[in-house]
Structure 1
Amino acid sequence: MSNIKAWVISLRLRTLPLALSTIFMGSFIAVDSGTFRWSVLIWASLTTLFLQILSNLANDYGDAVSGADNDEREGPRRALQQGVITLKQMKAAIFTSALLALFSGLTLIFISLKANHLYAFVFFLMGIAAIAAAIRYTVGRNPYGYRGLGDFYVYLFFGLMGVGGTFFLHSGFWDWTVLLPATAVGFFSTGVLNLNNTRDIESDRKSGKKTLPVMMGRRNAALYHLLLLLLGWTSMLVWLFLFETRQGAWLVFLSLPLFIKNIIAIFRYDAPSTKLDPELRNLSLGTLLFVLLYGIGVF
């Protein structure tokens, strides 16, 4: 493996559409309310991309140090695991991506909330929490990803805080109904993590990484996945029926077959299998398509 290819694999580019889904959904809701700003969309997108890259690199580092990445792992072999990238180089990349996330986040806060110091301070604390969460998933003593808490944090940061926070940065006010589409994106994002953890269930169990699939078992992990996607679609349905006035927003249903295919896949492959690996990309892209179709409908 070449060094360039190793870094591309470590960046996990296929996860970036999922990160953008969060920002786009919050921005499209702002369009619907007449408060959309291009500057917020651009800087929020950059910030979430840097945070996602930071999380991916830190995850590689943490799993390599803990031994969770080993020859028995079902997913793609990682660069640290093969020795193509050193721990020192990965630490430098983590530090750099954290600085970039901090810089873009501060810029986002300044252009959005410079007139309100209290809100700016609150969002600064949220940004620091996001950086810390991205690193602490698998790094440090007792990382929360090894205690089955990764799903909660993904739902929180990709859903409630990501979508709701983006809407607030556009509009300058809070609307509780935004939690419905935020919940949809949050559950779909959690589904991507669940697919990843279900694929790696055996190697995670042997390395002591206690993800939810490890704790609940393979069959229950599939049922949990079904529940996540059903709750996500239910949240969006409630939003469309009760609060969305533009008929074009119902275009989101064109993405439904991708989610159905995803559910079938996790039940079809009973044993941990690399056949689940493409479904991570498919659900990530399906979520982005879901959001983009909503955006097309409200524009």
Structure 2
Amino acid sequence: MTTQTMNKRKAWLGALRLRTLPLALACIMLGGFLAAADGALNWAVVILCVVTAVFLQILSNLANDYGDSVHGADHGEREGPQRAVQSGVITAQEMKRAMGLFAGLSAVSGLALVVVAFGLGALPLVLLFLLLGAASIWAAVNYTAGKNPYGYAGLGDLFVLVFFGLVGV
């Protein structure tokens, strides 16, 4: 394995920010505990919730790496670890492809979650949760990426409350 390949793998692992994944799991665990206390625990739903939340968290992490680089927030004066796109080890185009992959994985696992949880008979609930899923993907990407990133407008904490609190549970 070449040094360049090792550096690229290390950059991708850094971009995934695996240390943030427990945040994605915390709200799912709370929802699972509440369902268990109510006698309504469905392990297939819990597992699909975990998978979807992890995909969304990774999407958010990749979009943050991309968005901060594109918008100039990641620069030489920045404290903390060097980011993947900022370092040049991963190109902006490669990061956008990875973001597309995780957006797609989030959508597929979210759709599976909605079908397993509600079936297709409860159309209003299905539509509501599909809208929440689309909003979750939008929020994951637009924290620092996109034309008007809400993270730079001081709205990040509000979105964390909504998506890791209300929506996640």
TM-score by length of 1: 0.54
Distance 2:94 2:148 in 1: 23
Structure 2 residue 17 is matched with structure 1 residue 12: yes
Q: How does 1:77-92 map to 2 (within 5 A)?
A: 77-92=82-97
Alignment of 1:30-49 (within 5 A): 30-49=35-54
2:33 pairs with 7, 28, 31, which one?
28
SS of alignment partner, residue 139 of structure 1 = coil
Number of the residue aligned with 1:54:
59
Aligned to 1:112: 117
2:95 aligned partner, one-letter code: M
1:191-226 deviation digits (Å, cap 9, x = unpaired): xxxxxxxxxxxxxxxxxxxxxxxxxxxxxxxxxxxx
How far apart, CA to CA, are the structure 2 residues paired with 1:80 and 1:30?
41
* 1:95 maps to which of 90, 95, 100: 100
CA shift digits 1:271-296 (9 cap, x unpaired): xxxxxxxxxxxxxxxxxxxxxxxxxx
The number of aligned residues is 163
- Larger Rg computed on CA atoms: 1
* Cα distance between partner residues in 2 of 1:19 and 1:84: 27
Q: Distance in 2 between matches of 1:122 and 1:80?
A: 35
Map 1:62-77; keep pairs closer than 5 Å. Answer: 62-77=67-82
Which residue number in structure 1 is paired with residue 3 of structure 2? Answer: none
Q: Which contiguous aligned blocks of 4+ residues in structure 1 show a shift greater than 6 angstroms?
A: none
Of 2, 21, 28 in structure 1, the residue corresponding to residue 7 of structure 2 is 2
* Alpha-carbon separation, structure 2, partners of 1:24 and 1:94: 26
TM-score (structure 2 length as normaliser): 0.95
Q: Give the Cα–Cα distance (whole angstroms) in 2 for the partners of residues 56 and 94 of structure 1.
A: 9
2:130 aligned partner, one-letter code: F
CA distance in 1 between counterparts of 2:17 and 2:57 reads 9
- Unaligned stretches of 5+ in structure 1? 164-299
* Superposed counterparts of 1:1-299, under 5 Å: 2-114=7-119, 115-163=121-169
Higher helix fraction: Structure 1 or Structure 2? Answer: 1
Q: What does the per-residue CA deviation read over 1:142-201, in whole Å, with 9 as the maximum and x for residues that have no partner?
A: 2100100010000000011111xxxxxxxxxxxxxxxxxxxxxxxxxxxxxxxxxxxxxx
Distance 1:50 1:44 in 2: 10
Which consecutive residues of structure 2, in runs of 5 or more, have no partner in the other structure? 1-5
CA deviation profile, 1:240-297 (whole Å, cap 9, x unmatched):
xxxxxxxxxxxxxxxxxxxxxxxxxxxxxxxxxxxxxxxxxxxxxxxxxxxxxxxxxx
- In the alignment, the residues of structure 2 paired with residue 111 and residue 161 of structure 1 have an alpha-carbon distance, to the nearest angstrom, of 17
Higher RCO by CA contacts (8 Å cutoff, separation 6 or greater): 2
